[in-house]
Amino acid sequence: MSDEAREAVGDYQFGFHDPENATIRFDKGLSEQVVRDISALKDEPEWMTDIRVKAYHHFVERKMPDWGNCGELNNIDFDNVTYFLRSSDATEKDWDDVPDDIKRTFDRLGIPEAEQKWLGGVTAQYESEAVYHSIREDLEAQGVLFLDMDSGLKEHPEIVKEYFGTVIPYSDNKFSALNTAVWSGGSFIYVPKGVHVEMPVQAYFRINAQNMGQFERTLIIADEGSSIHYVEGCTAPTYSTDSLHSAVVELIAMKGAKIRYSTIQNWSANVYNLVTKRGVAHENATVEWVDGNIGSKLTMKYPAVLLKGEGAHAEVISVAYAGAGQHQDAGAKVHHLAPNTTSNILSKSISKNGGRSSYRGMLQVTPKSHGCRSKIVCDALMLDSDSRSDTYPTMEVGNSTADLEHEASVSKVSGDQLFYLMSRGFSEEEAMGLIVNGFFEPFTRELPMEYAVELNKLLELEMEGSIG
């Protein structure tokens, strides 16, 4: 334990921290030893250590991806990243260190300070632990497993071993290899056959139980005929001192099951957010990604669905907001690997103050997959002429019976709209906020209410001070 860390723990103002729980921070940079140390520290089974080590070597050898805004990736300094922080390390960060603009946003969103700290993942808060536990009990009664990934591995190694890396193997890409090597935190969910989890399950009840790292790993398995809606993150900004966030999320929807995964990322503007998300939908199963990207410097995220069983369905609804200095490179990948599978993709993006947003999509229909239907709609809204929006759709269609639609539009806020709204008493910024919220509405209405309200407020805040 470093002196610095000891000092921080000692000074911790709320004083409910267990002093025996030492903070551990690894030196910056990555090596096989660091990977082994992480695994040893977590007391993992050998097979997991082996996967980590293999993944590490693959990461070292693997080239950068060529899908996405790849030139920018070369700016990442992998040696300057801390790959592991123990959960209690959260106390090492002081609320005072959180940048003022982020604190202001918390205030304006109406989130009280105690909760702010908790949402920001900056420190632990005991009250929320209680909430978390009560939710867990409710789910447990139905036989649902909902744990952080580390606990999932400890308590249900047989399930984790069966599914871990089956949807996204470490060899998928450089960042999935990195994640597999150093993963920590994330969610583990198993929903038994026929169980419908009615309330959305929210990750942020869990965040403080185990400090969500930069490399979280999530695995959700919905057994036959079951359903679950998982909500991750929140609209409040996630402040990170580290510049790289690389998560892996694997979803498995068995026959007739349904998984919806909703998330809004609002990383601070210094973060490279490179996330691999992929779900498998078996026969008549549904996988839905509801994915919002507001923060980060560069996001590259293309939630994917493998439609493996006949009659499976994929839904990907995403929004991206790119302000000054941001590139949101997001989209969707859907692979129709079985007959009569269907998919809907809706992507909405907004660029402002020189920001860039791109839709990058992949739609594949394999030769044996007859009777597939897919509809892709991409709408971009530009708030000024300095900003940029691109669409990069890729289609590989091997079966002539496929029924495919693709619509794309780029629009600007019109002077008529602004004049109309201003004549109704809205300032120019308020008018912009209203137009932006309206543009994102097809996405927002898919969110649980409290997120929708927060997202709208956040977007209105983003519009402030934007009019020259």
> What is the nearest approach in angstroms of other proteins to the Cβ of residue 361?
22
Q: Which of 422, 448, 464, 467 binds other proteins (CB under 8 A)?
A: 422
Q: Which of 154, 426, 453, 466 binds other proteins (CB under 8 A)?
A: 426
Q: Should residue 427 be labelled a site residue for other proteins when binding is judged by CB under 8 A?
A: yes
Beta carbon nearer to other proteins, 224 or 441: 441
Residue 366 · residue 397 · CB < 8 Å: no
Residue 160 · residue 152 · CB < 8 Å: yes
DSSP single-letter state for residue 62? P
Residue 190 · residue 145 · CB < 8 Å: yes
Burial code of 4-40, b = ≥16 C-beta within 10 A, e = fewer? Answer: ebeebbeebeeeebeeeeebbebeeebeeebbeebbe
Structure tokens at 404: 């495919």
Which stretch of DSSP H or E encloses residue 456? helix 449-463
Give the number of residues in contact with other proteins, rule: CB under 8 A: 24
Beta carbon nearer to other proteins, 84 or 443: 443
> What is the nearest approach in angstroms of other proteins to the Cβ of residue 104?
22
Beta carbon nearer to other proteins, 396 or 428: 428
> What is the nearest approach in angstroms of other proteins to the Cβ of residue 432?
11
Instruction: Return the range that interacts with other proteins (CB under 8 A); candidates 186-194, 262-270, 330-338, 419-427.
Output: 419-427
Beta carbon nearer to other proteins, 207 or 378: 378
Q: Should residue 421 be labelled a site residue for other proteins when binding is judged by CB under 8 A?
A: yes
Amino acid in position 241: T
Q: Should residue 409 be labelled a site residue for other proteins when binding is judged by CB under 8 A?
A: no
- State in Å, rounded, how far the first CA of the chain is from the last one: 50
Instruction: Return the range that interacts with other proteins (CB under 8 A); candidates 12-20, 93-101, 351-359, 409-417.
Output: 409-417
> What is the nearest approach in angstroms of other proteins to the Cβ of residue 457?
13
Instruction: Return the range that interacts with other proteins (CB under 8 A); candidates 63-71, 218-226, 389-397, 427-435.
Output: 427-435
Looking at the DSSP bridge assignments, the partners of residue 229 are 260
Q: Should residue 417 be labelled a site residue for other proteins when binding is judged by CB under 8 A?
A: yes
> What is the nearest approach in angstroms of other proteins to the Cβ of residue 357?
18
Looking at the DSSP bridge assignments, the partners of residue 397 are 365
Residue with tokens 């907004």: 350
Q: Which of 114, 134, 424, 448 binds other proteins (CB under 8 A)?
A: 424
Question: Which 3-42 positions form the footprint of other proteins (CB under 8 A)?
Answer: none
Determine the Cα–Cα distance for residues 273 and 276; give it in Å rounded to an integer.
Answer: 10
> What is the nearest approach in angstroms of other proteins to the Cβ of residue 426?
6
Q: Which of 20, 416, 449, 468 binds other proteins (CB under 8 A)?
A: 416
Beta carbon nearer to other proteins, 89 or 379: 379
Q: Should residue 414 be labelled a site residue for other proteins when binding is judged by CB under 8 A?
A: yes
Q: Should residue 425 be labelled a site residue for other proteins when binding is judged by CB under 8 A?
A: yes
> What is the nearest approach in angstroms of other proteins to the Cβ of residue 417?
5
Q: What's the maximum distance between 2 C-alpha atoms anywhere in the chain?
A: 68
The DSSP line for 6-33 is: HHHHHH-TT--S-TTS---BPPSS--HH
CA angle 375, 294, 244 (to 5 degrees): 110
> What is the nearest approach in angstroms of other proteins to the Cβ of residue 382?
15
Site track for other proteins across 428-447, x = CB under 8 A: x-xx--xx-xxxxxx-----
For the chain, helix, strand, coil in percent to 5 are: 35, 30, 35
Structure tokens at 442: 């097809």
Instruction: Return the range that interacts with other proteins (CB under 8 A); candidates 109-117, 155-163, 354-362, 410-418.
Output: 410-418
Structure tokens at 433: 């906020």
CA angle 313, 314, 318 (to 5 degrees): 155
Beta carbon nearer to other proteins, 47 or 419: 419
Helix (H, G, I), strand (E, B) or coil at 137: helix
The residue ranges that bind other proteins (CB under 8 A) are: 414-417, 419-428, 430-431, 434-435, 437-442
